[in-house]
A and B are shown apart, each in its own frame.
Chain A
Amino acid sequence: MRYDVTLQRCGLSAVFDLKGAADALRNWAGDMLPPLPDHPNTRTGGGGVELYHIGRKHWLARAPLAQEEVLEAQLKPDACPAEISIVRVSDTLSFFRITGPDASQVMAIACPLDLHETVFGADAVTYSELFGLKALVLRCEGGFECAVEQSFGDMVEDYLTLSCRQKPV
């Protein structure tokens, strides 16, 4: 019996890796980015751009691929001050979307995180593991999104596809 989920491999997103002190990033980015999330492993959004607070002085900005060039022109990674770092990493991540009533069941196979809503809320986003690989995990409408390094994309797609097929009876 199969889990009641829909597995979708998403196309590329525009992703920028941002490092540095929050004030320095705010000064540089101004209103080009949504407000920086206050709490660890949470996200904010606005204007089609989402900001993920994934580590101490470390954020990911994600937007639809169509916005990549505009965002890069606004953030000016080549010209940013030395105390911050902005790097375009759009090509490095493969995103997957697992949605449906059994999405949490499939995620429980893949990932050691406690993904109950009381612990991993609607705005939660974090790096964790997916089948032993470092992966970005976040909630989306009706399920979860996860991203692994691009070169593991095919393998993780196979693993997720197999996991969806193995519902115990």
Chain B
Amino acid sequence: MLLIPCPFCGARSESEFIYGGPVRAARPDPNVVSDADWVDYLTVVPNPLGPVQEHWWHARGCGEWLTIWRDTRTHDIVEAPDEIE
């Protein structure tokens, strides 16, 4: 079980949260990018082996949306990778 740090409530059980999917790249302008890049944006979900940034919703708590970095290998909540910060 994860203990997810809510910015309003503090660390809370994962069961209070609903997963909101990975943080995705900004929406490109479909008139500017190639068809392949547009299809990639629409259909390819970030799924790295390692840290991934995710949205979570504190649905059974304060209602806050938050983002965390989770390592898909260990299931641990981790710091943002250096190259991101």
**When the two chains form their complex, are residues B8 and A40 in contact, meaning their CB atoms are under 8 A apart?**
yes
Pick the most buried of A56, A58, A127: most chain B CB atoms within 10 A of its CB: A127
Asked if A134 meets B59 with Cβ closer than 8 Å, knowing A55-B64, A56-B8, the reply is yes
Stretch at the interface among B10-18, B23-31, B46-54, B70-78: B10-18
A54 to B59, CA, bound (A): 12
Residues of B near A133 (CB, < 8 A) are 60
Q: Which of A29-83 contact B (CB under 8 A)?
A: 40-41, 54-56, 58
The answer to whether B62 touches A56 (Cβ under 8 A) is yes
A132 within 8 A of B: yes
**Contact among A40, A112, A113, A135 for B62, CB-based, below 8 A:** A40
Per the CB 8 Å criterion, the residue count for chain B at the interface is: 12
A129 at interface by CB-CB < 8 Å: yes
Chain A residues near B13: list those with CB within 8 A: 112-113, 129
Q: Which residue of B lies closest to A55 (CB)?
A: B62
A106 to B10, CA, bound (A): 23
Are B63 and A58 in touch, CB under 8 angstroms? yes
B45 contacts the other chain (Cβ, under 8 Å)? no
Question: Which residue of the partner chain, among A40, A55, A58, A129, contacts B16 with CB atoms under 8 Å?
Answer: A129
B80 at the interface (CB under 8 A from A): no
Q: List 10 A–B pairs whose Cβ atoms lie within 8 Å, in order of A's numbering.
A: A40-B62, A41-B62, A55-B63, A56-B62, A112-B13, A113-B12, A128-B12, A128-B60, A129-B60, A132-B15
Could you list 4 further interchain pairs (A-B, Cβ under 8 angstroms) beyond the known A113-B12, A129-B13, A132-B15? Answer: A41-B8, A41-B9, A112-B12, A127-B63
